Copies of this chain bind each other. A is one copy, B any other.
Amino acid sequence: MSLKLSILGCDSAIPTINKHQTAQLLNVNERFFLIDCGENTQIQLRKFELSFQRIHHIFISHLHGDHYFGLIGLITSMHLLGRKKELHVYAHAALKEIINIQLSVSKIDLNFPLFFHVIPEDSEIVLFKDDSIEISNILLNHTISCSGFIFKELKYDRKIVKENVEKYNIPYDKIIDIRKGFDYIKENGDIISNNLLTTENTPAKSYAFCSDTRFFSNIISKIRGVDVLYHEATFCHDLKERAYETGHSTTKDAATIAKEANVKRLIIGHYSKRYSDLNQLLLESREVFSNTFLSQSGDLIDFNSI
């Protein structure tokens, strides 16, 4: 079981040759979830040799171009490359119209089913759930409706202690219950404690993505204790008024959220183009929350090593 996060782009607003807009790929046990899709994301996926045909779910935080202008190109390329498998897009309602009008004028009839799932603008819901992960939106505070996302692995079943399962002759059809933590009750009423039959599995991991947003304390309770928090930090703290006006956070805003929520690791991003040296952002954030790291295109974060 594993969770791995690839950073495809971590810059704000205006793309340049070496600056790429927000896009991240979360690998949950070899299933791939794309988060945001700035212009050129399909090229970034190619650059890092990440197959975009394996992406089945795309989450778009909000409808500023630096978070979604690459989506229509990615969808079109998936089609031209012969994709058959369905694709699910989770976004605010207007994106459906934006995508559909572009497919319509080009007379593209997609080879694959494309499902839109509307992210509510004023409530938080479970957007996706299966037997290994649950994904919900988080209301953020930006200049337009904006959604963060929290990815929670579901608790893993316990690990079987093989020699004891054999020793106590546990029937095969009881293993599922045993892995879920139930004791085994023999026909004569004797109880074999689950602690003899299983051990704790790897702890379930969690990831929270919060961009774009002003400092917004409502987030804290929702992301408490996550393994990794990505929180935008567009500006250094001397520009806190500029951050507020433009709906963004400073380094210290991000770090304060991380600290208050007691997350294990903070990664920051969505850097304003004014910062040629990102270390000033990093160092300032670390003054509040020491376990801060910069996100940079090409980074791969393995949650098992945190």
Footprint of B on A, CB under 8 Å? 13-17, 39-40, 42-43, 46-47, 63-65, 69-70, 72-73, 76-77, 80-81, 92, 94-95, 97-98, 101-102, 105-107, 143-144
Contact = CB atoms under 8 A, between A and B. Distances in A.
Contacts of A92: 105
Contacts of A144: 105-107
A143 B109 CA distance: 13
Contacts of A47: 17
A98 B99 CA distance: 9
Given A39-B39, A69-B72, A106 B15 contact: no
A151 to B, nearest CB: 25
A290 to B, nearest CB: 34
Q: How many copies does the complex hold?
A: 2
A69 B65 CA distance: 12
Contact of A14 (B16, B77, B95, B106): B77
A14 B82 CA distance: 12
A14 B105 contact: no
A163 to B, nearest CB: 52
B73 A15 contact: yes
B40 A43 contact: yes
Contacts of A77: 13-15
Contacts of A13: 77, 80
B80 A14 contact: yes
A73 B65 contact: yes
A13 B77 CA distance: 8
Nearest to A81: B14
A73 B76 CA distance: 17
